[in-house]
Amino acid sequence: MLGVKRINELDYIRCIAIFMVVMGHVLLFTLKIEHTALLGIIGICEMPLFFIVSGYLTYKEREESLKETMARLLKRSRTLLVPLVVWSIVLNLCDEKITFSLSMVYRGGYWFFVALWWCDILNTFAVYISKKFKFGIIADIVLYASIYAVILLGRIKNIDLGGILPIQNVQYYFPFFILGLLHKYKLVNDVILNKYSYAVGMLLLIIGWYFSTIESFVIWFVAALGGVVVVWMVCREINSELKVAKMLSIIGKNTLPIYAIHYLFIAIMPCTLRDVINIPHGFFFLLVITFVYAVLVIILCLLVDRILSLNPITRMIFWGESKKREW
């Protein structure tokens, strides 16, 4: 039962993360509101949540043969890179833009797919080294720190490998991927998730948000870590037997297709909405408006995903998946 609960937690976290993503894009692209406290909090928390969950889930696959590793990487590459290319093309066609530029392939936020793919690749290399030399927690931390130092060097030198490496995004989110991986160590769990975590996390999030006008990776990282801890602690307390929990789980299991599709609905939604109704910039009013919008968009995304996933050919073309995704 503990294992099931843990997986449920991760689905709830991913659900909250995708709601943040859609709500943030509604604010930016539909309501044309760029400076608000709500957007600041969303910007701090949304993507770190995805990457820490991805790292957490990757740990299950650490004990595997070389053949199994290659098969997993091939499947992972297919399910990340196929949607990246296909949905970028779809979005460009909707905007009546035809291009073969890699930078345009990443437009609309699809950098997420390739950044997550790079995290998987780097982690696979680290796992091989760790397993070969039987590393413990200290050696593992040194190993991942060394890999991150190379990433930082790549960021300083602005190395993007011809456009296929979103180095800034990898620099920002690989640490969260690593934190998800390191949950296997009881010490890490005890330090990050304990009875004081919620209060400390909330404090870090508020302080980080308050100073978010200062462009500092360290401030953002500390605030994001606090936000991740708060969301994780909240999701731990959700009763999996509740109907709302089952809905959260369905959305959490389907965040990648929602992420890929939602840009289309954000793009076609009337940008003149704020001209139709006078929308005040109050935190709670914006929270309600963007949440309702996000619910509508996510429902539409799930419907499109179900239609595309019914046929094995369209499922492979749009998602790179051979098996139908579980709801």
The model's confidence at residue 234, banded by pLDDT at 50, 70 and 90, is very high
Instruction: Indicate if the pLDDT at residue 4 is higher than 50.
Output: no
The model's confidence at residue 7, banded by pLDDT at 50, 70 and 90, is confident
Q: Give the mean model confidence (pLDDT) for residues 227-253.
A: 93
Quote the percentage of the chain above a pLDDT of 70: 87
Cα distances from 313 to residues 74, 93, 113, 235, 253, in angstroms, run 18, 21, 21, 36, 21
Instruction: Indicate if the pLDDT at residue 227 is higher than 70.
Output: yes
Q: Say what the pLDDT of residue 1 is.
A: 35
Q: Give the mean model confidence (pLDDT) for residues 48-65.
A: 81
Cα distances from 15 to residues 63, 247, 251, 259, in angstroms, run 28, 9, 5, 11
Quote the percentage of the chain above a pLDDT of 90: 50
User: For residue 238, what are its two tokens?
Assistant: 């959700």
Angle value at C-alpha 118, between 216 and 177, nearest 5 degrees = 55
Q: Say what the pLDDT of residue 273 is.
A: 55
Domain ranges of the chain: 1-35+239-327, 52-192
Cα distances from 79 to residues 7, 140, 180, 316, in angstroms, run 20, 28, 20, 9
pLDDT single digits (tens) 80-133: 999 998 998 888 787 766 555 555 555 557 899 999 999 999 999 998 888 888
Q: What mean pLDDT, rounded, does the chain reach?
A: 85
Instruction: Indicate if the pLDDT at residue 5 is higher than 70.
Output: no
The model's confidence at residue 195, banded by pLDDT at 50, 70 and 90, is confident
Q: Say what the pLDDT of residue 3 is.
A: 41
How big is the chain by its Cα radius of gyration, in Å? 20
